[in-house]
Amino acid sequence: MRTLIKNGTVVTASDSYRAAVLIEDEKIIALESNPGADADEIIDASGKYIFPGAIDVHTHLDMPFCGTITADDFTTGTIAAAAGGTTCIIDYALQTPGETLQAALDVWHQRAEGKCAVDYSFHVAVTDLNDAVMAEIPALIKKGYPSFKVFMAHKGVFQIDDATLLKVLKQSGEAGGLVLVHAENGDVIDVLVKEMVAAGRTEPLYHALCHPPQAEEEAVNRFITMAEISGAPAYIVHLSDAGALGRVADARLQGLPVYAETCPQYLFLNIDRYSEPDFGGAKYVMSPPLREAGNEEYLWSGLASGNLQVVATDHCSFNFKGQKELGRHDFTKIPSGAPGLETRVQLLYAGGVNEGRISIHKFVDLVSTAPAKLFGLYPQKGSVTVGSDADLVIFDPEAAFTISQATQYQNVDHNPYEGFTGKGVPEKIFSRGRLIFDSGKYVGQVGHGRFQPRKPFTGL
Ligand code: URP
Ligand code: ZN
Ligand code: ZN
């Protein structure tokens, strides 16, 4: 099967040019300036951009957490991803203490297999380190899992200590892996939470006040220090705050291989959201929390300057009814996380490119090319190149959008960006050569998404 996409403008992380993209089966086989008509299907992309499919390297689908399970599973989550122009996700397989990393992967593979609309891969979260788990790290890198997550917060659930952090960094770094960290000081947060609850302060806002920006900055700094000692590359997930960003910028100035992602919630929302009436602030309970108004612009500057290399979502959806409500009388019982898989690309385009904060090439880099490079998928993904997977987004820069829960594919009863408007809509989405989304309609097949083993870390 051959498909020719003609009259569009190909936009990559470095260039824009007019070319027809010829797809055969799953791959891009030619980029032509004077296309012939030798194709089974011809698509006219006049006035449209052709981007490499976006990659979201931070999702939590079908995940048990905070006494409940995320509202999106691998089917609803990956259809929502596709709706928003994301053609590959990397989710987290979380080790159960006492079990192996492979056992976690087996569980997550079972959750995803045959259920995905787009391609997927897994990071492995280490929560309980012992000699056998240490030995698994190099073996898993060879098997296509080159990224390991550790949590410096979520005390009593996922949090590891500094000794574990250092050991994982050394072991992973020596074998070609990348360590990802949730950087907040979980011990500090634990003390503040207990004080707050004892004082009867139980509304959603107090979740944010128990997660001060200094607790994030301190953890980022400690993680960077350990990475430097171990000689390993380091990646900070969902960085939310200007202070923490400063630590990353300092490290990069010293030439350390330190990388960081931020997420749309920290670019578009702020702490005022916790004061929404009728317990509405619970929708924004996430860790790290939303920060003070004004912090967003520092993160935008971090994206533009290159100190932040990736925008991912940390998509972790819980319904307001029945799930967020679990914490109506105690913020510590509110499941922590928010949806965003479907809206990342258009929010970043509208808020970033249209508003002049980042270039269109930086935009492509942040949502697709840099994630592909950092996580061992490039140039198979993250690129519009002959030989790459035909994961493509035909994007209409003039189409207007209004974000609404009523029209979303995310399987959750609210949307943090309800009512946001802008211009720029992913119109047609191809996953390995198959058209899976067309003008807002899912036209793919669940189960088409395939597991993607990844290459060891080589940098950006
Ligand atoms: O609150 C959040 N971020 N929930 C998802 C789990 C995590 O810490 O990334
Ligand atoms: Zn986290
Ligand atoms: Zn997360």
Q: Round to whole Å and give the CA distance between 348 and 340.
A: 12
How crowded is residue 73: how many other Cβ atoms within 10 Å of its Cβ? 17
Residue 390 resides in a domain: no
247: domain range? Answer: 53-374
Atom of ligand 1 nearest to the CA of 154: 8
Q: Kindly report whether the global pTM for this prediction surpasses the value 0.85.
A: yes
Q: pLDDT of 158-180, one tens digit each? A: 999 999 999 999 999 999 999 99
- 1 in any annotated domain: no
414 in any annotated domain: no
Please choose from 58, 316, 323, 333 the residue to mutate so as to test ligand 1's pocket, defined by most ligand atoms within 8 A of CB: 316
Judge whether 84 and 65 are in contact, CB under 8 Å. Answer: no
- In this predicted structure, the answer to whether residue 436 has a pLDDT above a threshold of 70 is yes
Instruction: Report the separation in Å between the CA atom of 237 and the middle of ligand 2, taken as the mean of its atom positions.
Output: 7
Please give the Cα distance from 361 to 107 (Å, whole number).
37
Give the confidence band of 36 by pLDDT, cuts at 50, 70, 90: confident
Average pLDDT over residues 250-269: 98
Q: Domain count of the chain?
A: 1
Residue 21 CA to residue 31 CA, distance in Å, equals: 5
pLDDT of 33 reads 84
Q: Which residue has its alpha carbon closest to ligand 1 atom 9?
A: 314
Q: Ligand 1 atom closest to Cα of 286?
A: 1
118 within a domain of the structure (yes/no): yes
Confidence category of residue 34, pLDDT binned at 50, 70, 90: confident
Residue 267 has which token pair? 């670019």
**Residue 99 CA: distances (Å) to CA of 92, 106, 122, 279:** 16, 11, 17, 38
pLDDT at 106 exceeding the cut of 80: yes
Going from the C-alpha of 160 to that of each of 138, 151, 287, the distances in angstroms are 20, 6, 16
Q: How far apart are the CA of 434 and the centre of ligand 1, in A? A: 32
Q: Please give the pLDDT value at position 38.
A: 83
* Domain-located, residue 157: yes
pLDDT level of residue 55 (50, 70, 90 thresholds): very high
pLDDT for 37:
66
Whether residue 314 has its Cβ less than 6 Å from ligand 1: yes
State percent of the chain over pLDDT 90.
98
Residues paired with 27 in a beta bridge: 24, 389
Tens of pLDDT, residue by residue over 268-307, are: 999 999 999 999 999 999 999 999 999 999 999 999 999 9
pLDDT, one tens digit per residue, over 388-397 is 999 999 999 9
In a domain, 328, yes or no: yes
Distances (CA, A) of 120 to 8, 148, 158, 412, 454: 27, 16, 23, 21, 10
Q: What is the pLDDT of residues 399-432, one digit of tens each?
A: 999 999 999 999 999 999 999 999 999 999 999 9
- Which is the closest atom of ligand 1 to the Cα of 237? 9
From the CB of 281, is ligand 1 less than 6 Å away?
Answer: no
Q: For residue range 208-238, what is the model confidence (pLDDT) as tens digits? A: 999 999 999 999 999 999 999 999 999 999 9
211 lines ligand 1 (CB under 6 A): no
Any ligand 1 atom below 6 A from CB of 340: no
Q: What is the CATH number of the domain that holds 265?
A: 3.20.20.140
| DSSP for residue 365 | I
d(CA 133, CA 102): 9
Q: Is the CB of 286 under 6 A from ligand 1?
A: yes
| Confidence tier at 62 by pLDDT (50, 70, 90) | very high
Taking the centre of ligand 2 as the mean of its atom positions, its distance from the CA of residue 182, in whole angstroms, is 5
- Round to whole Å and give the CA distance between 373 and 184: 26
Is the pLDDT confidence value at 146 over 70?
A: yes
Within a domain: residue 317?
yes
411 falls within a domain? no
DSSP-derived secondary structure letter, 437: E
User: What would the mean pLDDT of 343-355 be, rounded to a whole number?
Assistant: 98
Pinpoint the alpha helices (H) of 338-458.
Answer: 344-348, 360-364, 370-374
